[in-house]
Amino acid sequence: MQTFYVKTKVCSGDGAMDILGNFAGRNAVIFTDAFMVKSGVAARVAGKLSNCADVRIFDEIKPDPPIELVANGLQFLLDANADLVVALGGGSSIDAAKATILMAKRSGAKDNISLIAIPTTSGTGSEVTSFAVITDREKGVKYPLVDEELLPDYAIMDPALVVSAPPRITADTGFDVITHALEAYISTNANDYSDALAEKALELAFAYLPKAYADGNDLEAREKMHTASCLAGMAFNAVSLGINHGIAHQLGARFHIPHGRANAMLLPHVVRFNANLDANFGAKQETAASLRIAHIARRIGLSGDDTNALVLALVRHLFYMLKMTETPATLNEAGVTKEAYEAVKAAMIDAALKDACTATNPRPVTADDVASILAGLARW
């Protein structure tokens, strides 16, 4: 049996932020980062929580939240006796809040904490997922926690909050959306429900990411990307991801390559692998996954005479988008030295195979396969 449900109430459009006024008498903590405090957005959100008994701001979130940050967050949450957490920021703020609440519940320290997620990037979809990615800096590993308890109660989708994201962050996070939707679409668990969400997310993201990147003030493009991010989140929350994320988590943990950028660099090579093309992008046997990838290529307006031509059109389009957004295509361009890469390559391959996301990749993956995907980026 498969089940499909979206627990999170998604609020969008004019007045979405006003639901923050519905939590009278609660003790609220806003989990966010220094940028959101400096830009005044955190204070605006705190203002909307004026019916709460107490509102405090935990502003220590850093990209790729480490375990220690979650421990600090838990202490802050307990000191505030919080029963409402508002996560304001990118995936890092939302994931840190989710992991902290889970820790509070699991340790028996505190139950009944509501979570409202307000994403300020259009990327992770964390506002509607039961995933939270936490980093063990000492071991150089990113752990995707997967637990239904991690699902936020509300998501407030306000594209105006994303306008301040510079082109670099817009591109990185936008590629995360595309990767989520594409991996969900070809996941071994994919079904008609997740397909509908993933296809729409891909249609929107391929059309509007270039616009949002070119002009961050294009509010229509921001809104469409924000919607795409949330739809892609719903899709992969239902059917999980694949080897692209399995490897991207290693590149993030080892070399601090931002999550979406790591996905972007890998994606053309993973599409190549999943569509059963050889390492030189030469065609082999058609597969169920290559047919589905070809369908997406057609859906976003690319053309080709047969399945392999469509797959190649998509691979070329992804390389073009990397170039257009000045996204690194190799580890060298991402600032990783050959020596640093060689030193951890074997450990990364091992961890990628064990990563929770890899289990639903449409094509079974071996260590040699991961090495062949990484070889596409390992050029100095």
Ligand X SMILES: NC(=O)c1ccc[n+]([C@@H]2O[C@H](COP(=O)([O-])OP(=O)(O)OC[C@H]3O[C@@H](n4cnc5c(N)ncnc54)[C@H](O)[C@@H]3O)[C@@H](O)[C@H]2O)c1
Closest CA to 375 of 353, 349, 343, 350: 349
State the residue number with the nearest CB to ligand X: 90
169 binds, among Fe ion, ligand X, none (CB under 5 to 8 A by kind): ligand X
Q: Which is nearer to ligand X, 125 or 362 (CB)?
A: 125
Please provide the DSSP assignment of 271-332 as one string.
HHHHTT--TTS------HHHHHHHHHHHHTT---SSHHHHHHHHHHHHHHHHHHTT---STT
Structure tokens given for 279: 């390492």
Q: Which is nearer to ligand X, 92 or 100 (CB)?
A: 92
227 binds, among Fe ion, ligand X, none (CB under 5 to 8 A by kind): none
- Strand 84-89 with 114-119, pairing: parallel
Instruction: Report, in Å, the least distance between residue 330 CB and Fe ion.
Output: 20
358 binds, among ligand X, Fe ion, none (CB under 5 to 8 A by kind): none
Q: How far is Cα 267 from Cα 65, in angstroms, rounded to an integer?
A: 24
Instruction: Report, in Å, the least distance between residue 248 CB and Fe ion.
Output: 7
Q: Which is nearer to ligand X, 294 or 351 (CB)?
A: 351
Structure tokens given for 120: 């300020």
Instruction: Report, in Å, the least distance between residue 140 CB and ligand X.
Output: 14
Q: Are 158 and 118 in contact (CB under 8 A)?
A: yes
Q: Which is nearer to Fe ion, 64 or 223 (CB)?
A: 64
64 binds, among Fe ion, ligand X, none (CB under 5 to 8 A by kind): ligand X
164 binds, among ligand X, Fe ion, none (CB under 5 to 8 A by kind): ligand X
267 DSSP assignment:
H
Binding mask of the shown chain, residues 167 to 206, with x at each position contacting Fe ion by CB under 5 A: ---------x------------------------------
Q: How far is Cα 168 from Cα 336, in angstroms, rounded to an integer?
A: 18
Cα 172–Cα 204–Cα 209 angle in degrees, nearest 5: 30
158 binds, among Fe ion, ligand X, none (CB under 5 to 8 A by kind): none
Closest CA to 224 of 199, 200, 188, 241: 200
107 DSSP assignment:
T
Q: Which is nearer to ligand X, 212 or 318 (CB)?
A: 212
Instruction: Report, in Å, the least distance between residue 173 CB and ligand X.
Output: 5
What does the radius of gyration of the chain's CA atoms come to, in whole angstroms?
20
Q: Which is nearer to Fe ion, 309 or 356 (CB)?
A: 356
Binding region for ligand X (CB under 6 A): 33, 35, 63-64, 89-93, 95, 120-121, 123-126, 129, 131-133, 161-162, 164-165, 169, 173, 176, 259-260
Give 25: exposed, middle or buried? Use CB within 10 Å, 0-12, 13-18, 19+.
Answer: exposed
Residue 366's contacts (CB-CB under 8 Å, 6 or more residues apart) are 353
Q: Which is nearer to ligand X, 115 or 161 (CB)?
A: 161
Residue 95 within binding range of Fe ion, rule CB under 5 A: no
Instruction: Report, in Å, the least distance between residue 27 CB and ligand X.
Output: 25
268 binds, among ligand X, Fe ion, none (CB under 5 to 8 A by kind): none
281 binds, among ligand X, Fe ion, none (CB under 5 to 8 A by kind): none
Q: Which is nearer to Fe ion, 158 or 176 (CB)?
A: 176
**Backbone angle region of 236, left / alpha / beta, with phi > 0 → left and psi within -120 to 50 → alpha:** alpha
Instruction: Report, in Å, the least distance between residue 6 CB and ligand X.
Output: 14
Q: How far is Cα 5 from Cα 321, in angstroms, rounded to an integer?
A: 33
Instruction: Report, in Å, the least distance between residue 339 CB and ligand X.
Output: 25
Residue 378's contacts (CB-CB under 8 Å, 6 or more residues apart) are 330, 331, 338, 341
Instruction: Report, in Å, the least distance between residue 196 CB and ligand X.
Output: 19
Q: Which is nearer to ligand X, 193 or 281 (CB)?
A: 193
State the residue number with the nearest CB to Fe ion: 176
Instruction: Report, in Å, the least distance between residue 245 CB and Fe ion.
Output: 6
Q: How far is Cα 198 from Cα 165, in angstroms, rounded to an integer?
A: 24
* List of residues contacting Fe ion (CB under 5 A): 176
